Amino acid sequence: MKNEEIRIAVIGCGRISGHHCRSIVAAEGIELVAVCDLVESKAEAYGKEFNIPYFVNYREMFKALPQINMVVVATPSGMHYEHATEIMRLYRKSVIVEKPTFMRPSQVMETYALATQMGLHVFPVFQNRYNLAVQRVRQALSNGELGDVRIVAVRVRWCRPQRYYELAPWRGTYAQDGGALTNQGIHHIDLMRNLAGRVKHVSASMRTLGANIEVEDSVVATVIFEGNTVGLLEVTTAARPIDFEASISLVCEKGLAQIGGIAVNELQVFTPDPSACMACSEDFSGSIYGNGHREIYKDIADFWYNKVPYPVDQRDCLNTIKLLDAFYRSDELGAWADVESDEESSRLGRPDESLANLYRTPFS
């Protein structure tokens, strides 16, 4: 029996949500049904742009539009777990969850367990994996063109001044946001392990250097992978006065690959085939989010209608969130942290009820 058509609502109407809406509208076999935000003007703007109903209360949205069967969770990062699990448990909707998916590894496990119990699905969003530059390097690693990876280096040198963090109460908090690593560096962390393999241990040092916030805006770390690969990570939002660089480079047995640009969209160095640099670089000047979200919705439709596995499964998502968590644990311990440990950071995603209440939808 063919699945019913995918009918999606988006909760949280920040900038990234507009990109989701446009990607959904462009996707075959998927309908954008509604948007919702606690701030009516934000929901109204997208409602009018896409000519769909808008709501300030997702409980009322689900009552009014029971045909919704999938929900994009694009609320503050620290609310992803609460919103996703409630939407599954009470309303039986599958969820598409924006980065960093969840703040804690245990939340990944619990959400997927609930989805399995309810017969629902979780779709994490890591859109940069779809970039042509990333795909070309992954291909070269898979087919032996680059050989074994020896050293991986991530460098994110961006500018987020105080006014950025003052845009909303959740920004710059451990409970709802995380710092430069969780918010800005998450895609590079994901690509680090997605391209180079499983990480065993990390040693990280975090600082807050450029803004008056409780989270880190700067981190440096050493990374030890399984096998002989080692890595370096440098992520900061304390660069001034502009964004300078965001790159991941891989020194390999047979050559060097470096991906950069505003969203790992440029293949800047590729010594096995220098002509690939131009062919596999994309212009993201129109949108820093690139084209990956459209590909994500194609994969969701392919999963839904044709049973093709979604490329980011529970283990894949969990490995990225465990790596993220390990950087914070290392800084807290002042020592090396085992990525596979069941321990969790005491800071990242810690509860803050007063802050969470600002982003909760009241029961009628």
Q: How does DSSP classify residue 159? A: B
Q: Are residues 37 and 76 in the same domain?
A: yes
Q: Are residues 32 and 87 in the same domain?
A: yes
Q: Are residues 209 and 331 in the same domain?
A: yes
Q: Are residues 142 and 249 in the same domain?
A: yes
What pLDDT does 2 receive? 52
Nearest to 217 by CA among 188, 198, 237, 234: 237
> Which two structure tokens, joined as six digits, stand for 142?
């898979």
Whether residue 345 is contained in a domain is answered as: no
What pLDDT does 125 receive? 98
Q: Are residues 89 and 135 in the same domain?
A: no
Whether residue 344 is contained in a domain is answered as: no
Q: Are residues 28 and 95 in the same domain?
A: yes
What pLDDT does 363 receive? 82
What pLDDT does 286 receive? 79
CATH number (domain holding residue 53): 3.40.50.720
Contact indicator for 130, 291 with CB cutoff of 8 Å: yes
Q: Are residues 147 and 93 in the same domain?
A: no
Domain count, the chain: 2
What pLDDT does 191 receive? 98
- Asked if the peptide bond before residue 53 counts as cis, ω within 30 degrees of 0, the response is no
Question: CA dihedral in degrees (355, 105, 337, 247; nearest 10)?
Answer: -80
Where does the chain have alpha helices with state H? 15-26, 40-50, 58-64, 80-91, 105-118, 132-142, 162-165, 186-196, 276-279, 292-306, 314-333, 353-356
- For residue 198, give its domain range: 129-284+317-338
The total number of residues shown for the chain amounts to: 364
> Which two structure tokens, joined as six digits, stand for 350?
């810690």
Q: Are residues 133 and 221 in the same domain?
A: yes
Q: What is the pTM of this model?
A: 0.97
Q: Are residues 137 and 194 in the same domain?
A: yes
Helix or strand or coil: residue 8? strand
Separation CA 122–CA 93 (nearest Å): 10
Q: What is the mean pLDDT of each run of 10 residues along the chain (364 residues)?
A: 83 96 97 98 98 98 98 98 98 98 98 98 98 98 98 98 97 98 97 97 98 98 97 98 96 98 96 98 88 96 98 98 98 98 98 97 82
Tell how far CA 311 is from the center of its chain.
14
What pLDDT does 294 receive? 97
Q: Are residues 210 and 195 in the same domain?
A: yes
Q: Are residues 17 and 160 in the same domain?
A: no
What pLDDT does 285 receive? 83
Q: Are residues 80 and 226 in the same domain?
A: no
